[in-house]
Amino acid sequence: MTRIFKTSARKDSCAHAGVGGPFTDHHAFLVELHLSLIDQHTAALDSLTRRIEEAMEAFRSARDLICTIPGVGVLTADLIIAETGGDMSVSPTPGQLAYGAGVCPGHHESAGRIK
């Protein structure tokens, strides 16, 4: 088992010991493969983020208004808009709207027992 030291110099000197043997060309290939996959996934996430931002542009004013609710950030506002389609009148009460959007502030039930 590799010991964890407090100083970075000791960590660096133990890095090779943590591998448990020589770092071969095969290991380098696998590391490069994983780093390439991470880069691909990061690029895909960036592309999806841009696409979501483009789709949310039509709802910018609603998003900004929803973000004024204490505890609601951009991600939660996006979720509420995605669940409601931006039309808040589909739910008769604010509680039903919150429940339908998955942001119900308090659901006091456990094992079928309402508290």
Q: What is the pLDDT of residues 66-99, one digit of tens each?
A: 899 888 899 888 888 887 887 777 788 877 877 7
Which pLDDT score is estimated for 6?
47
Q: Which has the minimum average pLDDT: 21-25, 43-47, 98-102?
A: 98-102
First vs last Cα of the chain: how many Å apart? 49
User: Is 13's pLDDT higher than 90?
Assistant: no
User: Is 41's pLDDT higher than 80?
Assistant: yes
| Maximum Cα interatomic distance, the chain, rounded to a whole number of Å | 66
Buried b or exposed e, range 32-54, using 16+ CB within 10 angstroms? eeeeeeeeeeeeeeeeeeeeeee
pTM of the complete model: 0.54
